Each structure stands twice: as C-alpha cells, then as structure tokens.
Chains A and B, each alone.
Chain A
Amino acid sequence: MKVLVAVKRVIDYNVKVRVKPDNTGVDLANVKMAMNPFCEIAVEEAVRLKEKGVASEIVVVSIGPKACQEQIRTALALGADRGIHIETDEEVQSLEAAKLLKAVVEKEEPKLVILGKQSIDSDNNQTGQMLAALTGMGQGTFASEVVVDGEKVNVTREVDGGLMTVALNLPAVVTTDLRLNEPRYASLPNIMKAKKKPLDAMSPADLGVEIAPRLSTLKVEAPASRQAGIKVADVAELVDKLKNEAKVI
C-alpha cells in the first residue's frame, strides 16, 4: 500500500520567536528552519508502517519555496522513497494546501495520507481535515495509534477527556499527535543515500490550483507580557496572600 506524507518547513521549535518591529509578521530572516515536529511524527509513522510490511512505498510532499527541498531530503533520509515538491514563493493557506494535496492524491492514489495535526507556525490545525473533506475520505485526527487492518484503519485519537478509537475505510487521512511515536534521527549513510532518491518539482499551476488567499493578516504583535510577581517565604504567607491580597480562595 502506498502512503503519502505531507511535511512543512517551519521555524525550528527551539528558536525564540520574535515579532518584527513593524508588526507585519514574525522575523524569519537568518532563523533556523526545520521540519514541523508533527510532520516528523507523520514521516516516522509511515516508515514504521513500511518496516512492518504494511506500506510498500512512501511518497513525501512539501509545498513552499525552493528551500523546502531540505525537509523533503530529511524525510527521504528517514526512509521515504521519493519526494514531490510543489514550489511556490506565495503564502499558501490551509485551504489551498489542501487543494494542492488533493491534486497529488488524485495522481498518486495513496491508501493512506499522513499529516501533522498542525504546524507550529500558524497553529491552524486544518489542512488534514480539509484534504479529507475535499477527497471524500474519512479522517483520524490527533492520532496516538494507527493500526491498518485489511481495507480499514483503526485510529486511536487524543480527545478532550481521554482517547477515542474510530475505524475508517481506506483510503483515509490521519493526522498525528505527539504521542503517536518518537521520531528517529537520520543516519549519515541514509542522508547520503537520500541525495540520490527521486524528487519531482512542480508548480501549483501544473496541478491546476490557483493560490488565492482568503485571509489577510493585518498585523502581528507580541503578546502582553506578564510581570513576575513576588516570592513568598513560606506556605503560610502564600495562603495568606491568596486569601487576603489576591482574594482567589
């Protein structure tokens, strides 16, 4: 069975985010970029499915500027078989991303599409669900366990109040949550081998999708910062402050 994994290039999760002084966005100049952590989990899950003999081929796709090919190569080094780069310098919002991925799904006909549940830049948590709706597939979002069983996949989901398991007809879309797996690191020999794996580049126009953002960002600001309060000497003083100063107990 073929598995398609979508990955996004985002600011490295260890980097301290700084808002630009002119409030037009977040400063990404000379900032370390990396694969979105939830997408790493998606790649890892696909690789594990291949190691179990469930997946036969893993195709990894990324949308964005030329530099996204770094993240595709990373996925190839982790075990994906070939890459597709949809190259654009425009801002691609979730709905357009889903339409581009739909076009790839129609071409590649994967049985399973795995995506991260959200990217750590825009925090939208939309693309997987939108792709599922546009392609008429079922979805297992916020997955903590994925078990393929014949023509179905059982997905255990992290939901408010606990866990919920759904059975989906294949083909289906899965979006990953943090506890699905712990991604491996790429070994140097695999990084070298990944350079020789096939990577196709195409444009949104090649896929018949027009990039037309529906949302415009008017401004981006730093959050109001909290001031550090006081240190109390002991528990008795703490309870006294909570009762008589803050009046919250």
Chain B
Amino acid sequence: MSILVIAEHDNSSLKQATLNVVAAAKAIGGDIDVLVAGENVGAIAEAAAKAEGVNKVLVADNAAYGHFLAENLGELVAEVGKGYSHILTSAGTTGKDFMPRVAALLDVAQVSDIIRVESADTFVRPIYAGNAIATVKASDSIKVITVRPTGFDPVAAEGGSASVEQLDVVKDAGLSSFVGEEKAKSDRPDLASAGVVISGGRGMQNGDNFKMLEQVADLMGAAVGASRAAVDAGFVPNDMQVGQTGKIVAPQLYVAVGISGAIQHLAGMSDSKVIVAINKDEEAPIFQVADYGLVADLFEAIPQFEEELKKVL
C-alpha cells in the first residue's frame, strides 16, 4: 500500500494537522508520501521531510496553488494521487473544499472526517453531529479520506529524513480566482491545535467582555474560542466558533465560560481531556459533561480565576 498525504499549510508554515494526518496514514500502514502544494513552499517541504514516518515529499510550487483554489488543487491531487491506494488530508476548510473534487475526478467515494482507522479499508467517523459513530467500509480501489486531526496523536515533527522531489505539474483550471481575504491576526495558538482553549458564550453579553477571556488565555498560553450563540450575536468573528459547524477541538483543558452547552457546541469539544464549565445557571447542560463545574457569575469568577492563576503559574 502507498499513501499520499496532502499537507495543510499557509505558504509560511506547515500546520500541525498535517502531523496528525500522517499519524492516521501510519495507522493504515504503507509507504507515506506527502504532497506540498502552494507557492514558495520550499521551507514547508523541508519541514514535512523531517516529520516522522514520511518516505518522500512531493512539491508542487506554483502560483496556481498559492490560494489553495479547489479547482486547481483538485486536478493536481487527482493526477498525482491516482497511483496511490489512499489519499488523505486534514478535514480543515481547505481539505473539505478540494478533496471531494479529487474523489469525483477519480470516480471514487470519499470517507469524510475519520477519527479512527480499523483497517486499510474500514474507518470510524462521527455522523449526526457526533450523536452517532459509524464504522464504514470503502470498496473503491483508491480510498479518498479526510481526517479529523483531533482523532490522532501527531507524529514527531523532527527526526525524519525524507527525500524531496519537485513536480512540474501545473494545473490551472481557469474557473476561479482569488479576490481577497480577511484573516484574524493573533499571537495566540491556533484554536484547532492549542493545548488549552477558553471559550465564551452568550453569557459574555458583548464582544468587549471577551477581553477578560483573552487576558486569562494569554496567562495560560491558551486559544480563545466561542459558542455559535456568541458568534451569531456578533460578539466575535466566525473563525472562533467551536462546535459542529465550527472548529472541532480536543485540548488538554477546555474552559467553557457562559456557555449553556447546546448539542451543537458539545459536538465540537467533548473529546477534550478536562472540561471546566463556569455558568451561573446550575441547570445548564454544559455541567453534564464538565469535569469541574463552577456555578457563579462569570463577571466575578473570571477576574478571580485570573488572580488565582497568577499565583500558581
């Protein structure tokens, strides 16, 4: 068996999710090649070559892939991937965008968002927003798979010494072009891979009050998230949303502040190792999944939390 992993990156650094996907590939077993497609991605290819368990890194460096347009990536990956038994990428918004095109171009099914590998053709994935867990067997000769990064512990980022090979395949479908982007700038860790996440919900009352959470986050080296209610109310931007339709997170510590715990939110965080809930409503469903619950007014509890943390950190 031979497995092609499509690296997730932003043209400046390799995303940790790629290491989780390589771990999923190792669980399948076989030679693992990594494809790095983007623009000016030499350093990323070198980083990928150091990842544990990688056999070869293939590089497609061209402006056509600079903004990860699905039309171009889809054609590239379908062509490069057709000699492999499995094609894997992370189930981030880029992977979710281009991977089904790859499957359609190869006339095979896609298995989305797997959290476990049972065998080379059988995978486990959540359905119904995580309210049911399905074991699925794929019969196509090429398995096209997106991987939920939190389902797999990442392989080591260092220690490997894969060869790096340049590809001169340029696929520009000419169907789409990049217009612009608004990316949130933050020095805090990436929500999807942070070890600690502190999230606010509707109980935060407005966007300014999220500064309280940011101060605590900076103390703990945490990422800041939000519930869908807080995003829909316009307190914070959509990329902070944790939940079924937002980011799926599984940090060591998840602190839910003023979040009631709708199923939609729980689907995005219930695999966290330790969950803390701070909410003034003691009947809030979030307490049913929390390891430590504090029934309190968050506007009193959070400043106290910050003070207590300063004592121990």
> Measuring CB to CB, which residues of chain A are less than 8 angstroms from any residue of chain B?
11, 16-17, 19, 26, 93-95, 98, 120-134, 136-139, 141-142, 144, 154, 157-169, 172, 177-179, 213-223, 226, 228-232, 234-236, 238-239, 241-243, 246, 248-249
Contacts and interface: CB of A to CB of B under 8 A. Distances in A.
Contacts of B232: 178-179
A123 B93 contact: no
A229 B97 contact: no
27 contacts: A17-B129, A17-B131, A123-B112, A123-B128, A126-B100, A132-B71, A133-B74, A138-B173, A139-B101, A159-B181, A162-B237, A166-B176, A167-B177, A167-B178, A168-B175, A214-B140, A215-B138, A220-B132, A228-B289, A231-B287, A231-B294, A231-B295, A234-B296, A235-B301, A236-B308, A246-B292, A248-B273
A235 to B, nearest CB: 4
Interface of B: 10, 67, 69-71, 74, 92-94, 96-105, 107-113, 122, 126-140, 173-184, 192, 196, 220, 228, 231-232, 237-239, 245, 247, 252-253, 270, 273-276, 282, 287-296, 301, 304-305, 308-309, 311-313
Contacts, number: 259
Q: Which 6 A-B pairs have the closest CB atoms?
A: A138-B175, A129-B100, A229-B291, A214-B109, A130-B104, A133-B104
A75 B161 CA distance: 56
B138 to A, nearest CB: 6
Contacts of A231: 282, 287, 292-295
A117 B43 CA distance: 33
B126 to A, nearest CB: 7
A149 to B, nearest CB: 11
Contacts of B301: 235
A235 B140 CA distance: 54
Contacts of B252: 248
B238 A216 contact: no
Contacts of B176: 138-139, 166-169
A158 B135 contact: no
A161 B67 CA distance: 14
Contacts of B177: 166-167
Contact of B175 (A26, A122, A137): A137
A162 B239 contact: yes
A229 B276 CA distance: 9
A228 B290 contact: yes
Nearest to A144: B238
Contacts of B122: 218
